[in-house]
Chains A and B, each alone.
Chain A
Amino acid sequence: MAPYESDDSTEAAQAGEELRDDLRAERRRKAARYVVPVAVVGVAAATIGLVPALADSGDPDLPKITAQQLIDKIAKSDVQQLSGTVKISTDLGLPDLGGLESSLLSGATQGRGDGSSADPAGKLTELASGTHTLRVAVDGPEKQKVSVLESGAEYSLIHNGTDVWGYDSKSDEVYHSTVADSGKAEQRETPATPKDFADEVLKSVDDTTSVTVDGTAQVAGRDAYRLVIKPKQSGTTVGAISIAVDAKTGTPLKFTLTPSSGGAAVIDAGYTQVSFAKPTASTFDFTPPKGAKVTEGDKADKADKADKADKTGKNDKVGRADRGGKASGAPGHGSAKDLDKSGFTVLGKGWNSIAVLDTGSKGGLPTGSASGGGVLSGFLGSLGDSVSGKFGKGTVFSTRLINALMTDDGKVYVGAVDKAALVKAANAG
């Protein structure tokens, strides 16, 4: 019996083995199905990771050009028609004020008696922080449109002939003003397109600045030269400015400002899509929608122009930083005039110039309006560092680009310079 027994057990063992093999194969077959979703995830991850790398076909080959030639090219550039999408990221290193910042702002505008949320001054100041997508369309000096795309809403500023319309779809409010001498008068208060930034910077190119052409790049699918501008002076917070200039038309396509402290760009504005074709005429047509509240900003706007700048300077750090950005970017003739108009004087020269504003309000932090001033100044005070020197005492507000010193006797020193330079200027003045 023994052999049979052993035979049986071998058979049984074999059968068991086969069954186990079957089960294992079955399990493997089943597990194999989960490969499909995993593979889909893998392919998706690879696509997300690789496609931008592959699409980046390297820097284009363009004929050599000197910095001077490139600057001339920008100056001569005569692009009258343009439309495109601009992505602008600003990281001034301001504390994230969230809604508070805009409520301070609206408080400031409401104080002036017109509370239209479609007022361009307040609206475009919002661009000074965060990332925004803009659409621009230009057709000659008479017709321009800038739209700020928000989630589920849009703010449009349309200049067509003598009319300037602002439309805020979120609150359904319209702002309207007319320009007497069409064209120049209603310049946007906040630079938004790479060209606006580049113009401001190129005005400041003088002996305090080194300008070089640093290879080529592709921006919005177009071949471009990279112009790099670096301040030669020390003491400024500006590290370098890089401008991508379209090789064909000479239009600045991308503007990047990196701070001397390193890290992410303070301002990064570039076209993600651009076309030099004539925009359709209807782009610039605007009729206020039925039922929308229309604020006529014409008279108030002119009379309060200086006052507004003043208010912005006082009440809103963002606004000031922005204005200061212009001042530092263009210490030359261009904006000096601007500054004088709004009661500024400029100390120093080149990148180290400092704008001085005498607010006249003694007792430290100026109060924007009588009501709520105490709260406001307390709040602002908590954001700054106090310093003292020969000038007395003051508070320094720092951002990654602009520093401002408010002295207790009501003077404000603003510039793209470090804290020490501000204190030095205050001591001297």
Chain B
Amino acid sequence: MSQADLAVVDTAAVRRPSPLWTFGLLRSELVTTFRRWRTLALLGVLAAVPILVGISVRIETRGGGQTGRGGGEGPAFIAQVTNNGLFLVFTALAATLPFFLPMAVGVVAGDAVAGEADAGTLRYLLVAPAGRTRLLLAKYTTTMAFCLVATLVVAASALAVGALLFPLGDLTTISGTRISFADGLGRALLIALVVAVSLAGVAALGLFVSTLTSSGIAAMATTVGLLITVQILDQIPQLHALQPYFFSHYWLSFADLVRDPVYWDDLVKNLELQALYTAVFGSAAWARFTTRDITA
């Protein structure tokens, strides 16, 4: 290869980063995020929830009794856990989705940009020829990857605990029909994916808040605060006209996947809503991040 050739390659690389460069950026973001002690601690807490639920159900029903007597108490599906360990996956997701999972996502998303600004590393990231849009996309992808990993951690931990403490096998859907264990496992995986996607709205919201401030803590607190506020507003009956537009309103619709046949209406509404939140707050984050002065 001649000198001239090298020079051409060099300038090309500087002007227009190859797609591989994007992967490099994404990979470094992923590695940074998942190697943080904070992230690992969050995942640890999430993994502990199914263990706690599983053991407490097991202890309560040891004498041959049943849980959920009287009905309506505790997270969904908890009454069926003793019949089939697979239901622990659904119970664990139903227990973590309202608060634990979105809180963890809020912490990661809120920290994404503001945390870098806080630590004074944001400008160094931007010195690299990545471009702000690309960096933002890498940040959002990383947050979504965390959503998926967090959900899968809960599901896997629940499946392991469920298999250890309770019988497995053909399961009865909540509609009263029977499906095979493989089918049930497939549905559990699908549910985990739906739950991960359900968090897309919170992730986008968190990322937008993160571009507004230079304080990582403030961004995390705001995101988690918004999450709690929306959850409370979703419980007030007088606001029923607004509630279908709250990002958390259709979260528990994942339970419709355990019906037979599956009831899609609310699931589709949930996915549409998450797409809308992602579009609105994603573009708002882009508008803010690409125009703001980076001083730190």
Contacts and interface: CB of A to CB of B under 8 A. Distances in A.
Specify which of B71, B75, B76, B171 lies most central, judged by the most chain A CB atoms within 10 Å of its CB: B71
A171 B83 contact: no
Contacts of A169: 77, 79-80, 174-176
A168 B175 contact: no
A291 B83 contact: yes
A151 interface: yes
B80 A172 contact: yes
A283 B177 contact: yes
B172 to A, nearest CB: 4
A148 to B, nearest CB: 11
Contact of A282 (B75, B171, B177, B280): B177
A105 B178 CA distance: 30
Contacts of A172: 66, 68, 79-80, 83
Given A33-B287, A33-B291, A152-B252, A165 B176 contact: yes
Interface residues of A, number: 39
Interface in B60-111: 66, 68-72, 75-77, 79-80, 82-84, 94
B24 interface: no
B283 interface: yes
Contacts of B84: 289-290
Contacts of A151: 76, 252, 255
Nearest to B174: A169
A154 B71 contact: no
Interface string B259-271: 1000101000000
Contacts of A289: 80, 83-84, 171-172
B55 interface: no
A34 B80 contact: no
Contact of B178 (A153, A168, A171, A287): A287
A154 B259 contact: yes
Given A151-B255, A153-B174, A171-B69, A37 B79 contact: no
A292 B83 contact: yes
A177 interface: no
Contacts of A154: 174-176, 259
A149 interface: yes
Contact of B287 (A37, A147, A165, A293): A37
Contacts of A149: 256, 259, 263
B226 interface: no
B176 A156 contact: yes
B279 interface: yes
Nearest to A174: B176
B78 to A, nearest CB: 9
Given A171-B69, A293-B66, A158 B176 contact: yes
B257 to A, nearest CB: 11
Query: Interface majority SS on A: helix, strand, loop or mixed?
Result: mixed
A152 B255 contact: yes
B259 A170 contact: no
Given A152-B94, A293-B66, A170 B71 contact: yes
B71 A171 contact: yes
Given A152-B94, A153-B76, A286 B71 contact: no
Contacts of B221: none
Nearest to A34: B287
B70 A171 contact: yes
Contact of B283 (A37, A158, A170, A291): A37
Interface in A125-170: 133, 135, 147, 149, 151-154, 156, 158, 165, 167-170
A195 to B, nearest CB: 21
Nearest to A27: B291
B247 interface: no
A282 B260 CA distance: 10
Nearest to A35: B287
B135 to A, nearest CB: 16
A170 B175 CA distance: 11
A53 to B, nearest CB: 18
Contacts of B283: 36-37, 40
A152 B280 contact: no
22 contacts: A33-B291, A37-B279, A37-B280, A40-B276, A41-B280, A85-B265, A106-B70, A117-B71, A133-B263, A151-B76, A151-B255, A153-B76, A154-B176, A154-B259, A156-B175, A167-B176, A169-B79, A170-B76, A282-B177, A285-B178, A289-B83, A289-B84
* Closest CB pairs A-B (n = 8): A152-B76, A171-B71, A169-B174, A289-B172, A33-B287, A172-B79, A30-B291, A37-B284
